[in-house]
Structure 1
Amino acid sequence: MSALPMSALPDSNGLLILPRIRVQNANAISSPITHGFPSITAFLGLQWALERKLLGKFPVVFDSIGVVCHDYEEQTAKGGYTKSFCLTRNPIEKDGSTAAIVEEGRIHLDITLLLGISGGCIPDFTEDERAAFAYEVAETVARMRIAGGSVVPGRHGARGKPQLVLVPLSTDAAEANNEFRLLRRRWLPGFALVSRDDLLARRWESLKKNNPRATKFDALLDLSRLNWRPGPAADANDPQKTVEWLPERKDGWIVPMPVGYGALAQFQAGAVEQARDLRAPFSFVESLYSAGQWISPHRLGSWRDLLWYGRADTETGLYRACNDYVQPTTVELPY
């Protein structure tokens, strides 16, 4: 949880849509204290890995990524009020002893990925070139891992065909809004993950009114759990009247989520043994947390609302995934 100032979303001139991707056994443990959906940093990692694989084929830059979840199935076993992950038994050691069981959370996903793309050649692409580019990227993603999970081959029907859309959709605001309405219908039914740092900041300010020592982590816990609050105070003239306890009304499907990493200690290259790259500086990190929200795509005001992008502050040692979603002030009809 950090208030690190970040720059705005990069100016993309292309939006690549990879619809209805089925992922099997993705990582369901997103951080040391959260589970249920892969971390958004895992999708940013996919974005950068995809750019490296396509380097030399297309002079483009993948600068942001968004995810819409259509279906999920977390691999858990239910036992009363508690759940446990379905684990696999590891092979025995060389000496015949039993290997330790490492807890791994897995989840099956049905998602749509949206990639913001920058490149001077994109506006010059013909319709056939855009289709070929989208197909090439889709085929590359099909051979990659998404959040540690395997991509399951699917049928490319009308709902599963990759598409490269030029953005902005139109210079006219009304026409662009209408085109985005038609575009976002393809992502239904589903839910898009957006950032709600504003809710966390407001909850923290509210807690400090009653407890000046309240921290942002207290605000995150209070925002994430189901809270019961006392209703209207009892009538002083009616001592028999009891206080009614009511569940706190949420502003939507609010979830705690990891949004990046903060450096704890930094070392020179080669100072830490068994590091992945002994030629690069090494740093121990801890997770950064904030609040997110799952919203239906028909409530998005712009394609920019669902895209995430990474920013790093080397001076403070913070790496953070950012999203510029702003809650609309008016209720918009879905169609």
Structure 2
Amino acid sequence: MKSTLLLRHLKVENANAISGLTYGFPAISHFLGFTHALSRRLEQAYGLTLGGCAVIAHSTELQSQPLGNRREQVFALTRNPLTKEGKTAPFNEEGRVHLDISLLIECDFNADGLPGVGALDQSVQILQTWFERTVPTLRLAGGTITALEQVQWRECYDETELRRLRMRLLPGFALVCRHDLLTEHHQQSIKMEPESELLDSLLDFVTLRHQAQQDDTGAVSWQQLAKPAPGYLVPLAVGYQGISPLYEPGSIPSSRDQETPFLFVESIYSLGQWVSPHRIQDLDSLLWRYRHQEPYYLCENLYVAPSLSVEEDDEEFIS
């Protein structure tokens, strides 16, 4: 990572809230796709490219409403125009969410590659101004970007600047991958139930389970079972797996792009975790990057949980 670009408090309206079987927040592929689209425009303008992306969520507002008097929620949908016959037009259910996020983007260039021939401060200002004008013209997860509080490019962070950056990202939570927890729990599940599948282990993290317990008097009470690991853990769509041969361009009549090879895929799920930025010791552990290994098309994050105790971590945050 040669340098970083911080898009702070990026506000998005009506972003896609459904990711395969999960809902509530856009898939990580949306943010990497946004970074890729921004990188293509940057390459056309200045010959520079971007790399991975870290996602920090400050607030989310899911567009849903209660169903009657029950606790069940349904998505708040829009009404499509009537058909020519005056009937209600059919539509697909769409989940939408308003976001307030910050993106920390990896840059594949340093100060020597900045545009302009003047001083370094002028070159940095030219680049930041370009991002301020270009970012609002793009779409993020299908949503409209309505505001961008700050754009900051920095070549490197010392210990003091890194600490200041982490504090500026609060209040918020960074999304990381915890496939290590899922794998560890699945290995334990196999020992107890050899026929257990990986999906069963994933559901153990995201479902609420209760067990009946009977005391000495014969009274029965229901107790909620603890999840396999503590933390703000969520199911996460992390990419796709090919389930068909790679077809030649134009050989599938219903495909949108007749000039690109076509492949049928299915979603891949793993375990994610929302962590507070003040616990992060290395910015590289927050970054998501693409990884293609046939037949997998993955969004990969190499986060490693810190080994600090609770007391040490709290002391670092307060000081």
> TM-score normalized by structure 1?
0.85
2:286–2:301 Cα contact (<8 Å) kept:
yes
The correspondence of residues 140-289 of structure 1 with structure 2, limited to 5 A, is 140-153=134-147, 160-167=149-156, 169=157, 176-228=158-210, 245-249=223-227, 250-266=229-245, 267-289=247-269
- Residues 1:44 and 2:32 are matched in the alignment: yes
Structure 1 pair 239–92 and aligned structure 2 pair: CA distance change class (3 A): closer
Separation (CA, whole Å) in 2 of partners of 1:120 and 1:83: 48
Cα distance between partner residues in 1 of 2:169 and 2:112: 24
Matching residue of 1:97 = 87
CA distance in structure 1 between the partners assigned to 2:95 and 2:133 by the alignment: 27
* Rounded Cα–Cα distance in structure 2 between residues aligned with 1:183 and 1:100: 47
Say if 1:14 and 1:122, in contact at 8 Å, map to a contact too: no
Contact 1:72 1:109 in 2 (8 A): yes
The CA deviation at 1:97 is 3.3
- In structure 1, how many angstroms separate the alpha carbons of the residues matched to 2:307 and 2:112? 34
253, 268, 271: which one aligns with 1:291: 271
Deviates more, 1:50-59 or 1:182-191: 50-59
Answer 1 or 2: which has greater helix percent: 2
Letter in 2 for 1:78: P
Deviation of residue 229 (structure 1)? 5.7
Query: 1:169-222: per-residue Cα shift (whole Å, max 9, x none)?
Result: 2xxxxxx33321111111000011000010110110121121101111111111
Between stretches 289-298 and 136-145, larger displacement belongs to 136-145
Letter in 2 for 1:252: G
Structure 1 residue 95: Cα displacement:
4.0
**What letter corresponds to residue 116 of structure 1 in structure 2?**
E
The answer to whether the 8 A contact 1:306-1:325 is kept is yes
| Residues 266-295 of structure 1 deviation map (CA, whole Å, 9 limit, x = unaligned) | 322111113122122101110000000001
Q: Which residue of 2 aligns with 1:323?
A: 301
* 2:9 corresponds to 1:20: yes
Q: 1:50 to 1:77 in 2, by over 3 A?
A: same
Report SS of the residue matched to 2:167.
helix
Unaligned runs of 5+ in 2: none
Residue 302 of structure 1: how far off its partner (Å): 1.2
Instruction: Give per-residue Cα distances to partners, 1:26-69, cap 9 Å, x unaligned.
Output: 000011x1000000000111011111122232222211011111
Q: Are the equivalent residues in 2 in contact too, given 1:59–1:121 (CA < 8 A)?
A: no
Inter-CA distance 75–240: structure 2 relative to 1 (3 Å threshold): closer
Give the structure 1 partner of residue 78 of structure 2.
Answer: 88
Query: Deviation above 6 Å: which 4+ runs of structure 1?
Result: 241-244
Q: Give the conservation status (yes or no) of the 8 Å contact 1:39–1:257.
A: yes
User: Do the aligned partners of residues 122 and 21 (structure 1) sit closer, same or farther apart at CA in structure 2, a change above 3 Å counting?
Assistant: farther
Matched residue, 1:6? none
Q: For 1:299 and 1:43, locate their aligned partners in 2 and report how far apart those are by CA, in whole Å.
A: 22
Alpha carbons 1:261, 1:285 under 8 Å: kept: yes
C-alpha change, 1:265 and 1:36, in structure 2 (3 Å) is same
Return 5+ residue gaps in structure 1 as ranges. 1-11, 155-159, 170-175
Q: Which amino acid aligns with 1:18?
A: L
SS class of match (2:264): strand
Question: Who is 1:7 aligned against?
Answer: none
Report the secondary structure of 2:18's partner residue.
coil
2:109 corresponds, among 114, 119, 124, to: 119
Partners of 1:64 and 1:307 within 8 A in 2: yes
Residue aligned with 1:41, SS: helix
**Conservation of the 8 A alpha-carbon contact between 1:192 and 1:295:** yes
Once the two structures are aligned, what percentage of the paired residues are identical?
A: 36
1:130 lines up with 2:124 in the alignment: yes
Counterpart position of 1:8: none
Shift of 1:324: 1.0
Please give the alpha-carbon distance, in whole angstroms, between the structure 1 residues aligned to 2:297 and 2:233: 23
Give the aligned partner of residue 172 of structure 1: none
